[in-house]
Amino acid sequence: MKPKKVIVNDLMQQGYTYYLTEPIGKNFDSKFKPELTPKEMLHLGVFGGKYMSDCKKEFPASWTKGVKFSHEQHDPKLNYFKINASLSLKEWKDKGWIYYEDPRGWFQWYCRYYYGRRIPLEDTRQIKRWYAIRRHVGLLRSRCLSKDLACMPKARQALLHWAYDSRKM
């Protein structure tokens, strides 16, 4: 596969360039097994509709076609579970969770990884963070009846943000 060049110009990055070196949705690290694609996550309702509202051109149009966005501010009503399960970007920065090439955080990394970008050290770090969220899967399963979507909606929404399909738990 010949690498494809992507140039990003949005509110958070101007002139950022990366290359797609893998086919879309393929050749993931063997430890990384997300249950949802970025497209599925966006269509389900994640991040209050605010996430990616200004950078849709970077990814395939099908990912955002029909997605309800909130351009002004995070709107929990746009989330699948209608609840805010997000920390602010400032809190993510304060905790050192933001990688300079992905200033929007984990989901931006995941979109670009899914799309075909690879940055080995950062990919390893983010996959470890994704895997660590599994503790919330166990918590949800230990406290809720199977598929009781009214049980722990904030935890369920947070898991959706990390590509775990909490609707099936």
Domain membership of residue 139 (yes or no) is: no
Look at residue 119 in the predicted model and tell me its pLDDT.
97
Domain membership of residue 65 (yes or no) is: yes
Domain count, the chain: 1
Rounded Cα distance, 141 and 158, in Å = 14
pLDDT(14) > 90: yes
Look at residue 109 in the predicted model and tell me its pLDDT.
97
Domain membership of residue 107 (yes or no) is: yes
Over the range 12-33, which residues count as b (16 or more CB within 10 Å of their CB) and which as e?
ebeebebebebeeeeeeeeebe
For 34-60, what is the mean pLDDT? 89
Q: Which amino acid is at 43?
A: H
For the ranges 85-89, 111-115, 124-128, 132-136, which has the lowest average pLDDT?
A: 85-89
**CA proximity to 48, closest of 19, 89, 20:** 89
Domain membership of residue 155 (yes or no) is: no
Domain extent at residue 31: 4-133
What tokens does 84 get?
């805010």
Domain membership of residue 142 (yes or no) is: no
Domain membership of residue 101 (yes or no) is: yes
Domain membership of residue 141 (yes or no) is: no
The pTM assigned to this predicted structure is 0.93
Q: Which span out of 37-41, 45-49, 92-96 was modeled with the highest average pLDDT?
A: 37-41
Domain membership of residue 10 (yes or no) is: yes
pLDDT(79) > 80: yes
